Amino acid sequence: AHLARIEAVDEKVHAFLHVDREGALEQARAVDARRAAGEKLGPLAGVPLALKDIFTTEGVPTTCGSKILEGWIPPYDATVTRRLKEAGVVILGKTNMDEFAMGSSTETSAYGPTGNPWDLTRIPGGSGGGSAAAIASYQAPLAIGTDTGGSIRQPAAVTGTVGVKPTYGGVSRYGMIAFSSSLDQGGPCARTVLDAALLHEAIAGHDPLDSTSIDAPVPAVVEAARNGSVAGLRVGVVKEFRGEGYQAGVMARFDESVELLRELGAEVVEVSCPSFDKALAAYYLIAPSECSSNLARFDAMRYGLRVGDTGGRSAEEVTTLTRGAGFGDEVKRRIMLGTYALSSGYYDAYYGSAQKVRTLISRDFERAFGDVDVLISPTTPTTAFAIGERVDDPMAMYLADLCTIPTNLAGNAAMSLPCGLADEDGLPVGLQIIAPAMADERLYRVGAAVE
Which residues belong to the active site?
52, 127, 151
Q: If we measure between CA atoms, which residue out of 111, 108, 158, 113 comes closest to residue 132?
A: 158
C-alpha 109: how far from chain center: 15
Using CB under 6 A as the binding rule, whether residue 328 contacts ligand GLN is answered as no
142-177: burial string, b at 16+ Cβ within 10 Å, e else: bbbbbbbbbbbbbbbbbbbbbbbbbbbbbbbbbbbb
Q: What beta strand segments (E) does 132-260 contain? A: 142-146, 162-165, 186-190, 234-238
Closer to ligand GLN at the Cβ: 95 or 319?
95
Q: Which stretch binds ligand GLN (CB under 6 A): 40-48, 62-70, 97-105, 337-345?
A: 97-105
Nearest to 334 by CA among 134, 145, 159, 183: 183
Name the H helices within 42-191: 79-86, 129-136, 153-159
Question: What residues form DSSP beta bridges with 235?
Answer: 268, 374
Residue 150 sits in the site that holds ligand GLN (CB under 6 A): yes
Task: Kindly list the strands in the beta sheet with 186-190, ordered across the sheet, starting from the edge strand earlier in the chain.
Answer: 16-19, 90-95, 48-52, 142-146, 186-190, 162-165, 413-421, 428-435, 374-378, 234-238, 267-271
- Least separation in angstroms between CB 103 and ligand GLN: 5
The answer to whether the CB of 419 falls within 8 A of the CB of 161 is no
Question: Total binding residues for ligand GLN by CB under 6 A?
Answer: 13
Residue whose C-alpha is closest to residue 278's, from 219, 190, 182, 354: 354
User: Applying CB under 6 A, which of residues 27, 104, 114, 377 lies at the interface with ligand GLN?
Assistant: 104
Residue placing its CB nearer to ligand GLN in the complex, 30 or 399 = 399
Which residue's CB is nearer to ligand GLN, number 44 or number 158?
Answer: 158
Q: Does 147 bind ligand GLN (CB under 6 A)?
A: yes
**Binding window for ligand GLN (CB under 6 A); candidates: 3-11, 115-123, 147-155, 339-347:** 147-155
Among 27, 116, 127, 416, the residue binding ligand GLN under the rule CB under 6 A is 127
Q: Which is nearer to ligand GLN, 101 or 403 (CB)?
A: 101
| Nearest alpha-carbon partner for 144 in 56, 12, 209 | 56
CB of 146 to ligand GLN, least distance (A): 6
Instruction: In angstroms, give the least distance from the CB of 279 to ligand GLN.
Output: 12
State yes or no: residue 185 binds ligand GLN (CB under 6 A): no
Residue of 51, 68, 92, 102 interacting with ligand GLN (CB under 6 A)? 102
Contact between 132 and ligand GLN per CB under 6 A:
no
CB of 387 or CB of 450, closer to ligand GLN: 387
- By CB under 6 A, name the one of 19, 101, 218, 429 that touches ligand GLN: 101
- Residue 147 CB, nearest distance to ligand GLN (Å)? 5
Q: How far apart are CA 414 and CA 417, in angstroms?
A: 10
Residues of this chain that interact with ligand GLN (CB under 6 A) are 101-104, 127, 147-151, 179, 287, 401
